[in-house]
């Protein structure tokens, strides 16, 4: 079973590389945020794998901290995106300012 762990770690590192490509290519902020969450998930699994292999179960606490930080980052992104979406819908609903109908005379 110990022969599987290096392949698992290599697969997770490959997952991080694929996520890096998604961050660089975009196209939207949500895609980039999902790739960052994939980074966090892969890092958590790598730390848990390292904790299991070395027998140092203090690393489980480190993985827990990483997961809490990843959840906080996701909540922060969603709340900021929600506010931006509400502002955009309010601006669209209010229409152009009075006296600026866009027609030229």
Per-residue pLDDT of the chain (105 residues; tens, 9 = 90+): 778 888 998 999 999 998 888 888 878 888 888 888 998 999 999 999 999 988 998 999 999 999 999 999 889 988 888 787 777 777 777 766 666 555 555
Instruction: Quickly tell me which residue has 């698992």 as its tokens.
Output: 8
SS3 52: helix
**pTM of the complete model:** 0.73
User: What string of DSSP letters covers 15-51?
Assistant: HHHHHHHHHHH-SSHHHHHHHHHHHHHHHHHHHHHHH
CB 82 within 8 A of CB 76: no
């Amino acid at each position: 079973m110990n022969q599987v762990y290096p392949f698992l770690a290599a697969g997770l590192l490959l997952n991080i590389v694929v996520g890096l490509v998604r961050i660089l290519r975009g196209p939207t902020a949500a895609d980039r945020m999902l790739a960052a969450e994939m980074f966090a998930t892969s890092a958590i699994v790598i730390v848990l794998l390292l904790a299991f292999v070395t027998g140092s179960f203090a690393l489980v606490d480190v993985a827990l901290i990483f997961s809490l930080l990843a959840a906080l980052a996701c909540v922060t992104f969603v709340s900021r995106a929600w506010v931006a979406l509400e502002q955009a819908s309010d601006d669209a609903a209010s229409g152009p300012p009075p006296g600026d109908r866009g027609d030229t005379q």
